Amino acid sequence: MAQLALGLMSGTSCDGISAALVRFQRQTLRVLAEHTQPYPLRVSRVLRRAPTLTAPELSMLNMVLGEQFARAAQRVLRAARMRPTRLAVIGSHGHTIYHGPGDAIPSTLQLGEPCVIAERLGVPVVADFRPRDLAAGGCGAPLVPAFDEAFFGKGVTRALQNLGGVGNVTVVGRAIDAVAFDTGPGNCLMDLVVQQMSRGRMRFDAHGHLALRGRIDHRAVERMWRQPYFRQPPPKSTGRELFNEAWLRQMFSTALARAPLDVLATLTYFTAYSIAESYRRFIRHRLHEVIVSGGGAHNRTLMRHLARLLAPVPVHSIERYGIPAQAKEPVAFAFLALQALRHRANHLPHTTGARGARILGSVTPGQPA
Ligand SMILES: Nc1ncnc2c1ncn2[C@@H]1O[C@H](COP(=O)(O)OP(=O)(O)O)[C@@H](O)[C@H]1O
Ligand SMILES: [Mg+2]
pLDDT tens digit sequence for 46-103: 998 998 999 999 999 999 999 999 999 999 999 999 999 999 999 999 999 999 999 9
Substitution site in 8, 12, 14, 15 for ligand 1 pocket (most atoms within 8 Å of beta carbon):
15
pLDDT tops 90 at residue 44: no
Peptide bond into 235 cis (omega under 30): yes
- 249, 277, 276: which is closest to 263 by C-alpha? 249
Mean pLDDT of the chain: 97
CA of 295 to the centre of ligand 1 (A): 3
pLDDT tops 90 at residue 202: yes
% of the chain with per-residue pLDDT over 90: 95
Average pLDDT over residues 279-292: 97
pLDDT tops 90 at residue 25: yes
Average pLDDT over residues 259-284: 98
Q: Is 182 in the pocket of ligand 1 (CB under 6 A)?
A: no
The residue ranking higher by pLDDT, 27 or 76, is 76
Residue 16's pLDDT band, with cuts at 50, 70 and 90, is very high
Asked if residue 73 lies in contact with residue 90, where contact means CB atoms within 8 angstroms, the answer is yes
Residue 207, sorted as left (phi over 0), alpha (psi -120 to 50) or beta, turns out to be left
Collapsing DSSP states into helix, strand and coil, what is residue 247?
A: helix
CA of 47 to the centre of ligand 1 (A): 16
pLDDT tops 90 at residue 31: yes
For residue range 238-252, what is the model confidence (pLDDT) as tens digits? 998 899 999 999 999
CA of 136 to the centre of ligand 1 (A): 32
User: Which domains does the chain carry?
Assistant: 3-138+327-364 (3.30.420.40), 145-325 (3.30.420.40)
The reported pLDDT for the residue numbered 365 is 98
Average pLDDT over residues 24-41: 94
